[in-house]
A = this chain, B = another copy of it.
Amino acid sequence: MSQQTIQEKLGYPKNTKLLILHGDDIGVSHSQNMASLTALGKGFISSGSIMVPCPWFPEVAAYAIAHPEADLGLHLTLTSEWKYYKWGPVAKDKAISLSNNKGFLYDDLDSLGKMAKLKEVELELRAQIDRAIQFGIRPTHFDSHMAGCFFNKEYLKIYIQLAREYHVPCLLNREAFKVLFNINIDDLIVSTDVLVDKVFMAYPNDYKQGMANYYTKVISSLQPGLNCILLHAAYNDDEMQAVTIGHPDYGAAWRQADFDFFSSEACKKLLADQNIHLITWKEIKEKLVK
């Protein structure tokens, strides 16, 4: 039994190429909401995750209530990276070690790691989950904005523990955690935890060479297993340009390029040609995480 592939555990043939097409950062802005929820509603992407501390969170909560079938998880957030548009911890002063002297979450992981008390990290993550539930969201999975929850092994333990406690799968990948964070997750997981075999996300160099090139290459060479592409869909409009001002990477044009590729006929054809089966976190939750 232990030799079953993840595809088989999910009821698919052994060598199926499963893919979660995942829109990050929903809730950060109206522009991100409109593009990501359009992509989700039209089936251009399969899944997305929500940033609870952000200003446009109530808009996506209303969408989630109106669309209970939508695969929406929580993009657990410990940072606030933009210049003029920022947010603080949901737990407010109870998570004061997570915020700078202006009450905003830190811009980057290094400051977070230096300043945050572990107890308050847990308290803040719980506050975000409970707030999502209070607003009527039934999260299908957890992942983490800017990999905040993967900062070190202690953060990761909390993240995995919360996923178990709330009965949802969370984004876990052996290779990425080893390469990017030098964390061996084998020490932390048990046999019932779900692992993603491969995670892909465009980096600045990929963007420079054209998103269509990058994603075409990723999708064309996708292997059997449970795969996940993380993308950031928003419109290249005034609001998104202002949110991302001064940041060369992951800006408004980048997010529009993500939307454009995944809403294209070329993408649709490529997925079909490669016999790729889109899957949701919701399906994974329902089949494997009771």
Contact = CB atoms under 8 A, between A and B. Distances in A.
13 contacts: A30-B238, A30-B239, A31-B239, A34-B242, A58-B83, A58-B85, A59-B84, A62-B84, A93-B93, A102-B134, A102-B135, A238-B239, A239-B239
A56 interface: yes
Chain A, interface residues (CB within 8 Å), range:
20 to 34
Interface in A36-85: 55-56, 58-59, 62, 83-85
A237 B30 CA distance: 11
Nearest to A62: B84
A237 to B, nearest CB: 6
A86 interface: yes
B58 A84 contact: yes
Nearest to A56: B85
A27 B287 CA distance: 46
A251 to B, nearest CB: 15
Nearest to A245: B59
A58 B59 CA distance: 22
